[in-house]
Amino acid sequence: RKEVEQDPGPFNVPEGATVAFNCTYSNSASQSFFWYRQDCRKEPKLLMSVYSSGNEDGRFTAQLNRASQYISLLIRDSKLSDSATYLCVVITGTGGSYIPTFGRGTSLIVHP
Amino acid sequence: GAVVSQHPSRVICKSGTSVKIECRSLDFQATTMFWYRQFPKQSLMLMATSNEGSKATYEQGVEKDKFLINHASLTLSTLTVTSAHPEDSSFYICSARAAGQGYGYTFGSGTRLTVV
């Protein structure tokens, strides 16, 4: 089983739709979680952190379920500019040495 | 915000030559730099973790003699692909974490290496 798994998609949705991605992780000791966005042939950029209590940033909502070991990203009112690959990142480590592990990414295509 | 400058952004080299990629943290000290490789439609795969002033830690399956990492200062880490072959063609990205950034990581802009 891979450490971090995501459905690669693509998710093909119309503008204005609501879309959700999940990401599962295998190491129950993982401490921190993030969602990154990567545009084609570009570097990943931090979208948002994921907290146990859940967090929202505009149209984006991230949630963490430690019991089931998954994180989710919900995008409301999708825009054309949301088209990208969304990577979940899981941080694991101890003693000040933390290693980020990336999921394969979920591709989102928002069409008119 | 924290910025990591990576160059070159694109390089084409002949098989058998060596290529050096540099990553500089511009406005923060990066005690740890991560080096990733990404093949088309694949995830970012961690190659190695470099710590300033010490030897890099390589992931399983990554040849340390082929991918030389030097992290001589708190603001500069380099990755040298030695004796490059076409199968080394990939997108290489560095990443570092700035103090006060929580666990968030800042990425360089990446280097697209093509070996012909």
Determine contact, residues A56/A5, Cβ cutoff 8 Å: no
Q: Please state, in angstroms and rounded to a whole number, the distance separating the CA atoms of residues B93 and B22.
A: 10
Query: Pick from B30, B34, B63, B38: which is nearest to B48 by CA?
Result: B34
Q: What is the DSSP letter of B86?
A: G
Q: How much is the mean pLDDT over chain B?
A: 89
Q: What percent of chain A stands above pLDDT 90?
A: 64
Asked whether residue A51 carries a pLDDT value surpassing 80, the answer given is: yes
Q: Please state, in angstroms and rounded to a whole number, the distance separating the CA atoms of residues B11 and B64.
A: 21
CB pairs under 8 A between A and B: 53
B104 pLDDT band, cuts 50/70/90, is: low
Q: Measured between CB atoms, which of A91, A99, A104 is closest to B42? A: A104
Token pair of A45 as six digits? 């950029």
Q: Please state, in angstroms and rounded to a whole number, the distance separating the CA atoms of residues B109 and B114.
A: 16
Determine contact, residues B76/B88, Cβ cutoff 8 Å: no
One-letter amino acid at A97 equals S
Q: Do A42 and B109 touch (CB under 8 A)?
A: yes
pLDDT given at position B101: 56
Give the pairing of strands A11-14 and A106-111: parallel
Q: Is B108 on the interface with A (CB under 8 A)?
A: yes
Q: Do A100 and B46 touch (CB under 8 A)?
A: yes
Phi (first) and psi of residue A3, to 5 degrees: -65, -40
Q: Is A80 on the interface with B (CB under 8 A)?
A: no
Helix (H) or strand (E) run with residue B24 in it: strand B19-25
Phi (first) and psi of residue B84, to 5 degrees: -65, 145
One-letter amino acid at B31 equals T
One-letter amino acid at A98 equals Y
Tens digit of each residue's pLDDT (9 = 90 or more) over B31-46? 889 999 988 878 889 9
Chain A hits for B45, CB-CB cut-off 8 Å, are: 102
Region of poorest pLDDT, from A50-59, A68-77, A87-96, B5-14? A87-96
Chain B hits for A86, CB-CB cut-off 8 Å, are: none
A91: closest chain B residue by CA: B103
Query: Pick from A40, A73, A79: which is nearest to A57 by CA?
Result: A73
Give the pairing of strands A55-57 and A106-111: unpaired
Question: Which residues 28-67 of B are in CB contact (within 8 Å) with A?
Answer: 32, 34, 36, 41-46, 49
Q: Measured between CB atoms, which of B42, B91, B105 is closest to A100? A: B105
